[in-house]
Amino acid sequence: MAKTGLVVCGNSGIDYIDHDYDIRVIRSTLIFGDEEYTDFIDIKAEDFYQSLKENPELHPTTAQTATGVILETYEMLKADGYTDIIVVTISSKLSGTYEGARIAGNMIDDVNVHVFDSKSVAYGEAYMILTAAEMATQGKSVPEIIDKLSHIRENQGLLVSVDTLKFLVKNGRLSGASGLMGSFLKIKPMLHLTREGRVEPIEKIRTRKKAINRIVEKFLKERTEENLEVFLVHANAFDALDDVKNRILEVRPELGTIEDYPLTPVVGAHAGPGALAIGWIIKE
């Protein structure tokens, strides 16, 4: 009898979301100089961003999950009787995790590994694996689940305000940054997640307040669908959360509750402290 196991990378922030599903997590590594920390296990979001705020000279880097560790995760699921494994990863344009998951999948026999590129990050990715988990418990087939994930992937978005481009530029995670390099420390740009899963700048803005205002304005102008799930993800941007939620709900009260989720440290190492994003998923 077919049995579907579920894996997601820690970049999804799934560790910060309460759920009752059997979802295995493959976690990246955060590197401070000679010290290495397993994301969420050794260091949590709030402590990480506070450290960056207090020590702005720190330059954290990250490393994706080793292929051998991913393979071990698959082996454990196989031992637990799973015949299929669905793996949802961070965008392949932002990390090599997708490719590592595929390579590990080719190294195991007698279990079918289906690696799905979310072309997203943070809660958008987490939403996909939680949807997959719910469908798996309902007995849905792998093709049915993958079809649903593909629909979500094509109907999601993210508008991002970062307090500094320093981390994105240094870590090479920002596409189309050529026009920003001369004054990147002075601007607070609006970024977005493209359909291909890249992070690209779309507007140059001079202050953090104006940058956050612009992502709210752009969201309200462009997202007029009724069946939206709206969420915020942030890097300790607690000072702005309530204001952003209130401004959105003042115009769109039918959206109901807007949840917020922390960016896990390995993602925040690229976004930097103070980053805030408005995300959405257009439901069927």
In angstroms, the Cα distances linking 228 to 42, 124, 223, 225, 282 are 35, 13, 8, 6, 5
- How many other β-carbons are positioned within 10 Å of the β-carbon of residue 149? 22
Q: What is the pLDDT of residue 201?
A: 85
pLDDT digits (tens, 9 = 90+) for 195-218: 999 988 888 888 889 999 999 999
pLDDT at 182 over 70: no
259 phi and psi angles, rounded to 5 deg: -85, 155
Taking CB atoms within 8 Å and a gap of at least 24, the contacts of 162-166 are 162/188, 162/189, 162/191, 162/211, 162/271, 162/272, 162/274, 162/275, 163/188, 163/208, 163/272, 163/273, 163/274, 163/275, 164/188, 164/272, 164/274, 165/189, 165/272, 166/272
Q: What is the pLDDT of residue 177?
A: 47
Say if strands 228-234 and 112-117 run parallel, antiparallel, or are unpaired. Answer: unpaired
pLDDT digits (tens, 9 = 90+) for 54-75: 887 788 899 999 999 999 999 9
Tell me what the mean pLDDT of segment 212-228 comes to: 95
- The span from the CA of 151 to the CA of 138, in Å, is 19
- The span from the CA of 133 to the CA of 203, in Å, is 37
Single-letter code of the amino acid located at 63: A
156-282 has which CATH code? Answer: 3.30.1180.10
Q: What is the pLDDT of residue 29?
A: 96
CATH architecture for the domain at 4-28+64-153:
3-Layer(aba) Sandwich (3.40)
> Which position has the token pair 């050794």?
42
Question: Taking the domains of the chain in order of start, what are their residue ranges?
Answer: 4-28+64-153, 156-282
Contact 128, 261 (CB under 8 A): no
pLDDT digits (tens, 9 = 90+) for 139-163: 999 999 999 999 999 999 999 998 8
Q: What is the pLDDT of residue 179?
A: 47
pLDDT digits (tens, 9 = 90+) for 76-114: 999 999 999 999 999 999 999 999 999 999 999 999 999
- Going by C-alpha positions, the residue among 138, 92, 148 that lies closest to residue 118 is 92
pTM above 0.75, yes or no: yes
pLDDT at 186 over 50: yes
Q: What is the pLDDT of residue 109?
A: 96
Q: What is the pLDDT of residue 272?
A: 86
166: helix, coil or strand?
A: helix
Q: What percent of the chain has pLDDT over 70?
A: 93
Q: What is the pLDDT of residue 178?
A: 45
In angstroms, the Cα distances linking 254 to 221, 222, 228, 258, 283 are 16, 16, 10, 11, 14
Q: What is the pLDDT of residue 203?
A: 86
Helix (H) or strand (E) holding 278: strand 276-282
Single-letter code of the amino acid located at 229: E
Tell me what the mean pLDDT of segment 169-175 comes to: 57
pLDDT at 17 over 70: yes
